[in-house]
């Protein structure tokens, strides 16, 4: 099982209908206490990819299995993401 998963443009590459499967798979791969951390494309987009996700939707998607640990702004985001990337860390719950 993975103790740490790095997220970088994986979630935003999938259409929103696939996000619950992403959350279920990440949950299955990670034992309690493991860390999910990386760059999340926060903010709705009319189409994609990349598909932006509203912060409250991301919280609802991950909060059943993960505890939010940290969130920071990103000053050197890739141009495709504009200024909508956030560094976020989540810890897998028991």
CA distances from 69 to 37, 43, 45, 82, 93 (A): 9, 20, 25, 24, 11
pLDDT at residue 8, rounded to an integer: 94
Position 49 pLDDT exceeds 90: yes
User: Domains of the chain (ranges plus CATH)?
Assistant: 4-92 (3.40.50.150)
Position 1 pLDDT exceeds 90: no
Position 77 pLDDT exceeds 90: no
* Alpha carbon distance 4, 78 (integer Å): 23
Position 57 pLDDT exceeds 90: yes
8 A C-beta contact, residue 11 and residue 53 = yes
Position 34 pLDDT exceeds 90: yes
% the chain with pLDDT above 90: 83
- Confidence bin at 80 (pLDDT 50/70/90): confident
Element at 67 (helix H, strand E):
strand 66-73
Q: What is the mean pLDDT of the chain?
A: 95
Beta-carbon neighbour count of residue 55 at 10 Å? Answer: 14
Beta-carbon neighbour count of residue 51 at 10 Å? Answer: 18
């Amino acid at each position: 099982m993975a103790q740490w998963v790095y997220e970088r443009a994986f979630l935003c590459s999938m259409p929103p209908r696939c996000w619950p499967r992403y959350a279920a798979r990440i949950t299955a791969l990670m034992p309690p206490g493991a860390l999910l951390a990386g760059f999340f494309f926060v903010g709705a987009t009319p189409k994609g990819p990349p598909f932006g996700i509203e912060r409250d939707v991301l919280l609802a998607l991950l909060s059943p299995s993960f505890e939010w640990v940290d969130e920071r702004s990103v000053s050197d985001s890739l141009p495709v993401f504009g200024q909508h990337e956030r560094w976020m860390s989540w810890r897998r719950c028991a």
